[in-house]
Amino acid sequence: MGLAFALVLWPLGLAAAAFLLPSARWRPWLLPLGGGVRLALTAAALPRSDVAALSGWMQLDALGKVLLLLVDVLFFVCALYAPAYLKLRASRDNRTFCACLLVFLGTSAVVAQAHHLGLLWVAIETSVLASAPLLYFDRNTRSLEATWKYLLIGSVGIALALLGSFFLAYSAVHGGLGSSLLVEDLVRDAPKLSPAWLHAAFIFLFVGYGTKMGLAPMHTWKPDAYGEAPGLVGTLLAGGLTGCAFLAVLRFFQICQAAGQAAFARQMMIAVGLLSMVVAGAFMVRQRDYKRMLAYSSVEHMGILVLGVGVGGGAMFGALLHLLNNGLTKGVLFLCAGNIHRAFRSKLTTEVSGALRRVPASGALFLAGFFAITGTPPFGPFISELTILRAAMRGDQVWVAAAFLVALTVVFLGMGSTVLQVVQGEPRSGREATDFRDTAFTVGPPLVLLALVLMLGVYIPPPLQALLHEAAVALEPGS
Protein backbone atom coordinates (compact mmCIF):
# COMPACT_ATOMS: atom_id res chain seq x y z
CA MET A 1 0.00 0.00 0.00
CA GLY A 2 2.80 2.42 0.85
CA LEU A 3 4.47 2.24 -2.55
CA ALA A 4 1.16 2.54 -4.42
CA PHE A 5 0.38 5.79 -2.61
CA ALA A 6 3.97 7.05 -2.78
CA LEU A 7 3.87 6.92 -6.59
CA VAL A 8 0.93 9.32 -6.46
CA LEU A 9 1.53 11.48 -3.39
CA TRP A 10 5.21 12.30 -3.96
CA PRO A 11 4.65 14.36 -7.14
CA LEU A 12 1.40 15.84 -5.82
CA GLY A 13 3.16 17.01 -2.65
CA LEU A 14 5.95 18.47 -4.72
CA ALA A 15 3.37 20.20 -6.92
CA ALA A 16 2.04 22.00 -3.84
CA ALA A 17 5.61 22.96 -2.91
CA ALA A 18 6.23 24.30 -6.42
CA PHE A 19 3.10 26.41 -6.27
CA LEU A 20 4.02 27.84 -2.87
CA LEU A 21 7.73 28.36 -3.52
CA PRO A 22 8.31 32.08 -4.12
CA SER A 23 11.52 31.74 -6.13
CA ALA A 24 10.92 31.42 -9.88
CA ARG A 25 14.63 30.66 -10.26
CA TRP A 26 14.64 27.56 -8.05
CA ARG A 27 11.14 26.31 -8.79
CA PRO A 28 12.06 24.52 -12.08
CA TRP A 29 14.62 22.40 -10.24
CA LEU A 30 11.78 20.71 -8.36
CA LEU A 31 10.90 19.00 -11.65
CA PRO A 32 14.11 16.89 -11.92
CA LEU A 33 13.81 16.15 -8.20
CA GLY A 34 10.23 14.97 -8.61
CA GLY A 35 10.94 13.03 -11.78
CA GLY A 36 14.09 11.39 -10.43
CA VAL A 37 12.51 10.18 -7.19
CA ARG A 38 9.39 8.98 -9.01
CA LEU A 39 11.53 7.05 -11.50
CA ALA A 40 13.33 5.40 -8.57
CA LEU A 41 9.97 4.49 -6.99
CA THR A 42 8.82 2.99 -10.28
CA ALA A 43 12.04 0.98 -10.56
CA ALA A 44 11.31 -0.41 -7.10
CA ALA A 45 7.71 -1.23 -8.08
CA LEU A 46 8.41 -3.00 -11.39
CA PRO A 47 9.62 -6.34 -9.98
CA ARG A 48 6.87 -6.48 -7.35
CA SER A 49 3.41 -7.99 -7.71
CA ASP A 50 1.91 -6.64 -4.47
CA VAL A 51 1.70 -2.91 -5.25
CA ALA A 52 -1.95 -2.23 -4.45
CA ALA A 53 -4.22 0.02 -2.37
CA LEU A 54 -7.86 1.00 -1.74
CA SER A 55 -9.17 -2.58 -1.51
CA GLY A 56 -8.20 -3.42 -5.07
CA TRP A 57 -9.25 -0.15 -6.68
CA MET A 58 -5.56 0.48 -7.31
CA GLN A 59 -3.27 -2.34 -8.46
CA LEU A 60 -0.09 -2.16 -10.50
CA ASP A 61 -0.22 -4.96 -13.07
CA ALA A 62 1.89 -5.51 -16.19
CA LEU A 63 -0.13 -3.08 -18.34
CA GLY A 64 0.13 -0.38 -15.72
CA LYS A 65 3.87 -0.97 -15.35
CA VAL A 66 4.43 -0.42 -19.07
CA LEU A 67 2.60 2.92 -18.95
CA LEU A 68 4.24 3.99 -15.71
CA LEU A 69 7.71 3.23 -17.05
CA LEU A 70 7.09 5.23 -20.22
CA VAL A 71 5.64 8.27 -18.44
CA ASP A 72 8.39 8.34 -15.82
CA VAL A 73 11.24 8.11 -18.34
CA LEU A 74 9.68 10.83 -20.50
CA PHE A 75 8.97 13.07 -17.53
CA PHE A 76 12.45 12.73 -16.06
CA VAL A 77 14.12 13.56 -19.37
CA CYS A 78 11.77 16.51 -19.91
CA ALA A 79 12.46 17.63 -16.33
CA LEU A 80 16.17 17.78 -17.13
CA TYR A 81 15.33 19.93 -20.15
CA ALA A 82 12.90 22.20 -18.27
CA PRO A 83 15.28 24.45 -16.23
CA ALA A 84 17.21 25.55 -19.32
CA TYR A 85 13.98 26.08 -21.26
CA LEU A 86 12.31 28.07 -18.49
CA LYS A 87 15.43 30.19 -18.10
CA LEU A 88 15.02 31.20 -21.74
CA ARG A 89 11.38 32.06 -21.00
CA ALA A 90 12.14 34.04 -17.84
CA SER A 91 9.48 36.62 -18.74
CA ARG A 92 6.79 33.98 -18.16
CA ASP A 93 5.67 33.04 -14.67
CA ASN A 94 6.52 29.35 -14.21
CA ARG A 95 4.57 28.75 -10.98
CA THR A 96 1.48 27.20 -12.60
CA PHE A 97 3.60 25.50 -15.27
CA CYS A 98 5.78 23.60 -12.80
CA ALA A 99 2.90 22.73 -10.48
CA CYS A 100 0.73 21.38 -13.31
CA LEU A 101 3.56 19.25 -14.66
CA LEU A 102 3.93 17.59 -11.28
CA VAL A 103 0.16 17.14 -10.91
CA PHE A 104 0.15 15.40 -14.28
CA LEU A 105 2.94 13.11 -13.07
CA GLY A 106 0.91 12.21 -9.99
CA THR A 107 -2.36 11.54 -11.82
CA SER A 108 -0.58 9.37 -14.40
CA ALA A 109 0.29 6.98 -11.55
CA VAL A 110 -3.39 6.79 -10.63
CA VAL A 111 -4.24 5.93 -14.25
CA ALA A 112 -1.57 3.23 -14.34
CA GLN A 113 -2.86 1.62 -11.13
CA ALA A 114 -6.61 2.19 -11.49
CA HIS A 115 -8.57 -1.07 -11.61
CA HIS A 116 -11.89 0.61 -10.91
CA LEU A 117 -13.27 2.11 -14.10
CA GLY A 118 -14.75 5.09 -12.27
CA LEU A 119 -11.40 5.91 -10.70
CA LEU A 120 -9.77 5.48 -14.11
CA TRP A 121 -12.20 7.99 -15.62
CA VAL A 122 -11.56 10.54 -12.87
CA ALA A 123 -7.78 10.14 -13.14
CA ILE A 124 -7.72 10.65 -16.92
CA GLU A 125 -9.95 13.71 -16.71
CA THR A 126 -7.74 15.15 -13.95
CA SER A 127 -4.70 14.58 -16.15
CA VAL A 128 -6.40 16.48 -18.97
CA LEU A 129 -7.33 19.39 -16.70
CA ALA A 130 -3.80 19.51 -15.26
CA SER A 131 -2.26 19.65 -18.73
CA ALA A 132 -4.57 22.37 -20.09
CA PRO A 133 -2.75 25.32 -18.43
CA LEU A 134 0.50 24.01 -19.93
CA LEU A 135 -0.85 24.72 -23.43
CA TYR A 136 -1.53 28.35 -22.50
CA PHE A 137 2.04 29.01 -21.41
CA ASP A 138 2.71 31.48 -24.26
CA ARG A 139 -0.45 33.42 -23.35
CA ASN A 140 -1.35 34.53 -26.86
CA THR A 141 -4.52 34.21 -28.92
CA ARG A 142 -3.38 31.03 -30.69
CA SER A 143 -2.49 29.24 -27.45
CA LEU A 144 -5.79 30.36 -25.90
CA GLU A 145 -7.71 28.97 -28.87
CA ALA A 146 -5.74 25.71 -28.71
CA THR A 147 -6.46 25.36 -24.98
CA TRP A 148 -10.18 25.91 -25.37
CA LYS A 149 -10.38 23.46 -28.28
CA TYR A 150 -8.42 20.93 -26.24
CA LEU A 151 -10.83 21.28 -23.32
CA LEU A 152 -14.06 21.39 -25.30
CA ILE A 153 -13.36 18.43 -27.57
CA GLY A 154 -11.86 16.54 -24.67
CA SER A 155 -14.99 17.22 -22.62
CA VAL A 156 -17.14 15.61 -25.30
CA GLY A 157 -14.83 12.61 -25.32
CA ILE A 158 -14.80 12.17 -21.57
CA ALA A 159 -18.60 12.51 -21.45
CA LEU A 160 -18.94 9.70 -23.99
CA ALA A 161 -16.49 7.60 -21.97
CA LEU A 162 -18.60 8.15 -18.84
CA LEU A 163 -21.73 7.10 -20.70
CA GLY A 164 -19.91 4.00 -21.90
CA SER A 165 -18.94 3.17 -18.33
CA PHE A 166 -22.60 3.39 -17.34
CA PHE A 167 -23.53 1.07 -20.20
CA LEU A 168 -20.88 -1.38 -19.08
CA ALA A 169 -22.26 -1.38 -15.54
CA TYR A 170 -25.77 -1.89 -16.89
CA SER A 171 -24.58 -4.83 -19.02
CA ALA A 172 -23.67 -6.51 -15.72
CA VAL A 173 -27.02 -5.65 -14.14
CA HIS A 174 -28.86 -6.84 -17.24
CA GLY A 175 -26.95 -10.12 -17.00
CA GLY A 176 -28.14 -10.63 -13.44
CA LEU A 177 -24.85 -9.56 -11.81
CA GLY A 178 -23.91 -6.77 -9.46
CA SER A 179 -22.96 -3.35 -10.77
CA SER A 180 -19.26 -3.59 -9.94
CA LEU A 181 -16.84 -1.54 -12.05
CA LEU A 182 -13.74 -3.37 -10.82
CA VAL A 183 -11.80 -4.79 -13.76
CA GLU A 184 -11.25 -8.14 -12.02
CA ASP A 185 -14.97 -8.58 -11.36
CA LEU A 186 -15.92 -7.66 -14.91
CA VAL A 187 -13.32 -9.96 -16.44
CA ARG A 188 -14.38 -12.84 -14.19
CA ASP A 189 -18.07 -12.39 -14.95
CA ALA A 190 -17.60 -11.26 -18.57
CA PRO A 191 -19.37 -14.28 -20.16
CA LYS A 192 -22.54 -13.27 -18.29
CA LEU A 193 -22.54 -9.65 -19.48
CA SER A 194 -25.27 -8.60 -21.90
CA PRO A 195 -23.63 -8.64 -25.36
CA ALA A 196 -25.80 -5.83 -26.73
CA TRP A 197 -25.03 -3.49 -23.84
CA LEU A 198 -21.38 -4.54 -23.90
CA HIS A 199 -21.14 -3.61 -27.58
CA ALA A 200 -22.75 -0.25 -26.90
CA ALA A 201 -20.38 0.33 -23.98
CA PHE A 202 -17.32 -0.43 -26.06
CA ILE A 203 -18.43 1.91 -28.87
CA PHE A 204 -18.90 4.83 -26.48
CA LEU A 205 -15.75 4.05 -24.52
CA PHE A 206 -13.63 3.62 -27.63
CA VAL A 207 -14.87 6.87 -29.13
CA GLY A 208 -14.54 8.68 -25.80
CA TYR A 209 -11.03 7.58 -24.91
CA GLY A 210 -10.12 7.55 -28.61
CA THR A 211 -10.78 11.29 -28.54
CA LYS A 212 -8.16 11.61 -25.79
CA MET A 213 -5.76 9.52 -27.88
CA GLY A 214 -6.40 11.69 -30.91
CA LEU A 215 -7.67 8.97 -33.23
CA ALA A 216 -9.30 10.14 -36.46
CA PRO A 217 -11.87 11.55 -36.85
CA MET A 218 -11.74 12.67 -33.17
CA HIS A 219 -8.26 14.19 -33.61
CA THR A 220 -9.17 17.79 -34.41
CA TRP A 221 -7.78 19.18 -31.12
CA LYS A 222 -4.31 17.79 -31.74
CA PRO A 223 -2.87 20.07 -34.46
CA ASP A 224 -3.66 23.23 -32.48
CA ALA A 225 -2.67 21.82 -29.10
CA TYR A 226 0.62 20.31 -30.22
CA GLY A 227 1.35 23.26 -32.48
CA GLU A 228 1.14 25.75 -29.62
CA ALA A 229 2.49 23.62 -26.76
CA PRO A 230 6.10 24.00 -25.61
CA GLY A 231 8.27 21.11 -26.77
CA LEU A 232 8.43 19.36 -23.41
CA VAL A 233 4.64 19.63 -23.04
CA GLY A 234 4.17 18.18 -26.52
CA THR A 235 6.37 15.28 -25.46
CA LEU A 236 4.23 14.51 -22.41
CA LEU A 237 1.00 14.86 -24.36
CA ALA A 238 2.12 12.67 -27.27
CA GLY A 239 3.77 10.01 -25.13
CA GLY A 240 2.13 10.32 -21.72
CA LEU A 241 -1.47 11.51 -21.94
CA THR A 242 -2.23 9.51 -25.08
CA GLY A 243 -0.67 6.49 -23.37
CA CYS A 244 -3.07 6.94 -20.44
CA ALA A 245 -6.04 6.97 -22.82
CA PHE A 246 -4.68 3.93 -24.67
CA LEU A 247 -4.45 2.05 -21.38
CA ALA A 248 -8.14 2.80 -20.76
CA VAL A 249 -9.01 1.36 -24.18
CA LEU A 250 -6.96 -1.75 -23.36
CA ARG A 251 -8.81 -2.25 -20.07
CA PHE A 252 -12.13 -2.37 -21.92
CA PHE A 253 -10.74 -4.57 -24.67
CA GLN A 254 -9.63 -6.97 -21.93
CA ILE A 255 -13.24 -7.22 -20.77
CA CYS A 256 -14.50 -7.79 -24.34
CA GLN A 257 -11.89 -10.50 -24.80
CA ALA A 258 -13.02 -12.29 -21.64
CA ALA A 259 -16.65 -12.00 -22.77
CA GLY A 260 -15.91 -13.61 -26.13
CA GLN A 261 -16.74 -10.37 -27.95
CA ALA A 262 -13.20 -9.52 -29.07
CA ALA A 263 -14.04 -9.91 -32.77
CA PHE A 264 -16.48 -7.01 -32.56
CA ALA A 265 -13.89 -4.79 -30.90
CA ARG A 266 -11.12 -5.84 -33.29
CA GLN A 267 -13.06 -4.86 -36.41
CA MET A 268 -13.68 -1.39 -35.06
CA MET A 269 -10.06 -0.95 -33.97
CA ILE A 270 -8.66 -2.04 -37.34
CA ALA A 271 -11.00 0.32 -39.19
CA VAL A 272 -10.25 3.33 -36.98
CA GLY A 273 -6.53 2.52 -36.90
CA LEU A 274 -6.23 2.49 -40.69
CA LEU A 275 -8.44 5.59 -40.98
CA SER A 276 -6.17 7.47 -38.57
CA MET A 277 -3.09 6.53 -40.58
CA VAL A 278 -4.71 7.60 -43.86
CA VAL A 279 -5.97 10.91 -42.47
CA ALA A 280 -2.58 11.67 -40.92
CA GLY A 281 -0.78 10.89 -44.17
CA ALA A 282 -3.10 13.14 -46.15
CA PHE A 283 -2.53 16.11 -43.85
CA MET A 284 1.24 15.57 -43.75
CA VAL A 285 1.61 16.03 -47.49
CA ARG A 286 2.91 19.56 -48.09
CA GLN A 287 2.52 20.43 -44.40
CA ARG A 288 4.24 23.78 -43.79
CA ASP A 289 4.05 23.87 -39.98
CA TYR A 290 6.54 21.35 -38.62
CA LYS A 291 4.97 21.26 -35.15
CA ARG A 292 1.52 20.55 -36.59
CA MET A 293 3.23 17.87 -38.65
CA LEU A 294 4.24 16.18 -35.40
CA ALA A 295 0.59 16.32 -34.29
CA TYR A 296 -0.48 14.42 -37.40
CA SER A 297 2.37 11.99 -36.82
CA SER A 298 0.85 11.34 -33.39
CA VAL A 299 -2.53 10.67 -35.02
CA GLU A 300 -0.81 8.13 -37.27
CA HIS A 301 0.90 6.32 -34.44
CA MET A 302 -2.21 6.21 -32.28
CA GLY A 303 -3.75 4.47 -35.27
CA ILE A 304 -0.87 2.00 -35.33
CA LEU A 305 -1.42 1.21 -31.65
CA VAL A 306 -5.11 0.33 -31.99
CA LEU A 307 -4.43 -1.43 -35.31
CA GLY A 308 -1.94 -3.70 -33.55
CA VAL A 309 -4.48 -4.57 -30.88
CA GLY A 310 -7.10 -5.18 -33.57
CA VAL A 311 -4.83 -7.54 -35.52
CA GLY A 312 -4.06 -9.51 -32.36
CA GLY A 313 -1.63 -12.39 -31.94
CA GLY A 314 1.98 -11.26 -32.06
CA ALA A 315 0.79 -7.76 -32.99
CA MET A 316 -0.38 -7.33 -29.39
CA PHE A 317 3.26 -7.45 -28.24
CA GLY A 318 4.17 -5.15 -31.13
CA ALA A 319 1.53 -2.59 -30.12
CA LEU A 320 2.80 -2.44 -26.54
CA LEU A 321 6.39 -2.15 -27.74
CA HIS A 322 5.29 0.57 -30.14
CA LEU A 323 3.72 2.47 -27.26
CA LEU A 324 7.23 2.81 -25.81
CA ASN A 325 8.96 3.45 -29.13
CA ASN A 326 6.50 6.12 -30.21
CA GLY A 327 6.61 7.94 -26.87
CA LEU A 328 10.41 8.04 -26.74
CA THR A 329 10.78 9.08 -30.37
CA LYS A 330 8.16 11.80 -30.04
CA GLY A 331 10.26 13.14 -27.18
CA VAL A 332 13.24 13.51 -29.53
CA LEU A 333 11.15 15.27 -32.16
CA PHE A 334 9.21 17.63 -29.90
CA LEU A 335 12.23 18.74 -27.85
CA CYS A 336 14.28 19.36 -30.99
CA ALA A 337 11.36 21.10 -32.68
CA GLY A 338 11.22 23.39 -29.64
CA ASN A 339 14.94 24.16 -30.02
CA ILE A 340 14.53 24.94 -33.72
CA HIS A 341 11.53 27.14 -32.95
CA ARG A 342 13.59 29.09 -30.41
CA ALA A 343 16.40 29.54 -32.93
CA PHE A 344 14.22 30.73 -35.83
CA ARG A 345 11.16 32.12 -34.02
CA SER A 346 8.95 30.42 -36.57
CA LYS A 347 7.25 27.07 -37.13
CA LEU A 348 6.75 27.44 -40.88
CA THR A 349 8.93 25.84 -43.53
CA THR A 350 8.56 29.02 -45.62
CA GLU A 351 10.64 30.79 -42.97
CA VAL A 352 12.76 27.99 -41.49
CA SER A 353 15.59 26.26 -43.30
CA GLY A 354 19.21 25.37 -42.60
CA ALA A 355 18.63 24.08 -39.08
CA LEU A 356 21.70 21.88 -39.49
CA ARG A 357 23.74 25.07 -39.80
CA ARG A 358 22.03 27.29 -37.22
CA VAL A 359 21.56 24.61 -34.52
CA PRO A 360 23.58 21.60 -35.79
CA ALA A 361 22.90 19.21 -32.91
CA SER A 362 19.16 19.89 -32.76
CA GLY A 363 18.89 19.73 -36.55
CA ALA A 364 20.72 16.40 -36.68
CA LEU A 365 18.61 14.93 -33.87
CA PHE A 366 15.42 16.18 -35.54
CA LEU A 367 16.45 14.45 -38.76
CA ALA A 368 17.36 11.25 -36.91
CA GLY A 369 14.03 11.40 -35.08
CA PHE A 370 12.24 11.60 -38.42
CA PHE A 371 13.94 8.43 -39.65
CA ALA A 372 13.14 6.72 -36.35
CA ILE A 373 9.45 7.65 -36.21
CA THR A 374 8.88 6.57 -39.82
CA GLY A 375 10.09 3.06 -39.05
CA THR A 376 13.58 3.17 -40.52
CA PRO A 377 15.99 0.52 -39.20
CA PRO A 378 17.80 0.17 -36.86
CA PHE A 379 15.51 2.27 -34.65
CA GLY A 380 12.87 0.83 -32.32
CA PRO A 381 9.71 1.77 -34.29
CA PHE A 382 10.95 -0.40 -37.15
CA ILE A 383 10.87 -3.47 -34.90
CA SER A 384 7.42 -2.77 -33.45
CA GLU A 385 5.88 -1.92 -36.82
CA LEU A 386 7.47 -4.99 -38.41
CA THR A 387 6.03 -7.12 -35.59
CA ILE A 388 2.53 -5.81 -36.31
CA LEU A 389 2.99 -6.30 -40.06
CA ARG A 390 4.19 -9.88 -39.66
CA ALA A 391 1.27 -10.71 -37.38
CA ALA A 392 -1.18 -9.35 -39.96
CA MET A 393 0.43 -11.46 -42.69
CA ARG A 394 0.44 -14.60 -40.54
CA GLY A 395 -3.18 -14.03 -39.58
CA ASP A 396 -4.31 -13.97 -43.22
CA GLN A 397 -5.11 -10.27 -43.01
CA VAL A 398 -3.22 -9.43 -46.19
CA TRP A 399 -5.42 -6.45 -47.03
CA VAL A 400 -4.70 -4.94 -43.61
CA ALA A 401 -0.96 -5.44 -44.13
CA ALA A 402 -1.16 -3.87 -47.61
CA ALA A 403 -3.10 -0.84 -46.37
CA PHE A 404 -0.65 -0.52 -43.47
CA LEU A 405 2.34 -0.43 -45.83
CA VAL A 406 0.71 2.08 -48.19
CA ALA A 407 -0.13 4.43 -45.31
CA LEU A 408 3.41 4.17 -43.93
CA THR A 409 4.82 5.07 -47.37
CA VAL A 410 2.58 8.13 -47.71
CA VAL A 411 3.54 9.29 -44.23
CA PHE A 412 7.26 8.82 -44.93
CA LEU A 413 7.09 10.89 -48.12
CA GLY A 414 4.90 13.62 -46.65
CA MET A 415 6.80 13.95 -43.39
CA GLY A 416 10.16 13.71 -45.14
CA SER A 417 9.37 16.66 -47.39
CA THR A 418 8.69 18.92 -44.40
CA VAL A 419 11.64 17.74 -42.31
CA LEU A 420 14.15 18.10 -45.14
CA GLN A 421 12.98 21.66 -45.81
CA VAL A 422 13.62 22.48 -42.16
CA VAL A 423 17.07 20.93 -41.76
CA GLN A 424 18.66 21.38 -45.19
CA GLY A 425 19.94 24.45 -47.02
CA GLU A 426 21.01 27.81 -45.70
CA PRO A 427 19.16 29.87 -43.08
CA ARG A 428 16.89 32.21 -45.00
CA SER A 429 18.14 35.73 -45.44
CA GLY A 430 16.02 38.39 -43.85
CA ARG A 431 15.12 36.25 -40.85
CA GLU A 432 15.86 37.91 -37.53
CA ALA A 433 18.88 36.30 -35.90
CA THR A 434 18.45 34.95 -32.39
CA ASP A 435 20.90 34.26 -29.60
CA PHE A 436 19.69 30.70 -29.12
CA ARG A 437 22.32 28.02 -29.63
CA ASP A 438 22.52 24.35 -28.75
CA THR A 439 23.72 23.58 -25.24
CA ALA A 440 24.21 20.40 -23.27
CA PHE A 441 20.96 21.07 -21.37
CA THR A 442 18.86 21.52 -24.52
CA VAL A 443 20.47 18.77 -26.61
CA GLY A 444 21.36 16.19 -23.95
CA PRO A 445 17.75 15.14 -23.12
CA PRO A 446 16.66 14.37 -26.72
CA LEU A 447 20.00 12.63 -27.27
CA VAL A 448 19.27 10.33 -24.31
CA LEU A 449 15.83 9.53 -25.74
CA LEU A 450 17.28 8.82 -29.18
CA ALA A 451 19.82 6.45 -27.61
CA LEU A 452 16.96 4.56 -25.93
CA VAL A 453 15.06 4.35 -29.23
CA LEU A 454 18.16 3.02 -30.94
CA MET A 455 18.70 0.48 -28.16
CA LEU A 456 15.13 -0.83 -28.51
CA GLY A 457 15.81 -1.32 -32.20
CA VAL A 458 18.82 -3.59 -31.68
CA TYR A 459 18.29 -5.01 -28.19
CA ILE A 460 15.28 -5.29 -25.90
CA PRO A 461 16.42 -5.96 -22.31
CA PRO A 462 15.06 -9.33 -21.12
CA PRO A 463 13.17 -7.82 -18.11
CA LEU A 464 11.42 -5.37 -20.45
CA GLN A 465 10.65 -8.09 -22.96
CA ALA A 466 9.18 -10.26 -20.20
CA LEU A 467 7.06 -7.34 -18.96
CA LEU A 468 5.69 -6.63 -22.45
CA HIS A 469 4.95 -10.31 -22.98
CA GLU A 470 3.12 -10.52 -19.64
CA ALA A 471 1.04 -7.48 -20.58
CA ALA A 472 0.24 -8.93 -24.02
CA VAL A 473 -0.85 -12.24 -22.50
CA ALA A 474 -3.11 -10.41 -20.04
CA LEU A 475 -4.90 -8.85 -23.03
CA GLU A 476 -4.94 -11.94 -25.20
CA PRO A 477 -3.96 -15.29 -23.68
CA GLY A 478 -1.62 -17.15 -26.01
CA SER A 479 -0.39 -14.03 -27.82
Model confidence pLDDT, tens digit, residues 270-314: 999 999 999 999 999 989 999 999 999 999 999 999 999 999 999
Q: Is the pLDDT of residue 241 over 80?
A: yes
Q: What is the mean pLDDT of residues 321-334?
A: 98
**Dist CA 7 CA 113 (whole Å):** 10
Amino acid in position 284: M
pLDDT digits 0-9 by tens, 112-154: 999 999 999 999 999 999 999 999 998 899 999 999 999 999 9
Which of 177-181, 363-367, 422-426 tops mean pLDDT? 363-367
Query: In DSSP terms, which residues pair with 52 in a beta bridge?
Result: 59
| Mean pLDDT of the chain, nearest integer | 94
Q: Which residue has the higher pLDDT, 350 or 478?
A: 350
Residues 26 and 43: their CA atoms lie apart, in Å, by: 27
Q: What's residue 432's pLDDT?
A: 60
The predicted model scores a pTM of: 0.96
Q: At what angle do helices 242-258 and 117-135 cross, to 10 degrees?
A: 160
Q: What is the mean pLDDT of residues 18-25?
A: 92
Question: Residue 116 pairs with which residues in a beta bridge?
Answer: 182
Asked if 7 and 67 touch (Cβ cutoff 8 Å), the reply is no
**Amino acid 179: pLDDT:** 75
* First-residue to last-residue Cα distance in the chain: 31
pLDDT of residue 188: 92
Crossing angle for the helix pair 290-311 and 398-423, nearest 10 degrees?
160
| pLDDT for the residue 174 | 83
pLDDT at site 477: 83
pLDDT at 430: 59
Confidence of residue 42 (pLDDT cuts 50, 70, 90): very high
435 Cβ neighbours under 8 A, 6+ residues apart: none
Residue-range domain boundaries for the chain? 2-475
**What is the reported pLDDT for 431?**
59
What are the tens digits of pLDDT across the range 371-396?
A: 999 999 999 999 999 999 999 999 88
- Amino acid 433: pLDDT: 64
What sign does the CA torsion over 303, 203, 248, 126 have?
Answer: positive
Whole-number pLDDT of residue 212: 94
Q: Which of 396, 196, 416, 133 is nearest to 287 (CA)?
A: 416
Proportion of the chain above pLDDT 70, given as a percent? 98
Q: Give the phi and the psi of residue 182 in degrees, each rounded to 5.
A: -75, 135
- The answer, yes or no, to whether residue 221 has pLDDT greater than 90, is yes
User: What pLDDT does residue 463 have?
Assistant: 97
Cβ atoms within 10 Å, residue 380? 26
For 335-376, what is each residue's pLDDT tens digit?
A: 999 999 999 999 999 999 999 999 999 999 999 999 999 999
Omega cis (within 30) before 477: no
pLDDT digits (tens, 9 = 90+) for 57-94: 999 999 999 999 999 999 999 999 999 999 989 888 89
* pLDDT classification of 479: cutoffs 50, 70, 90: low
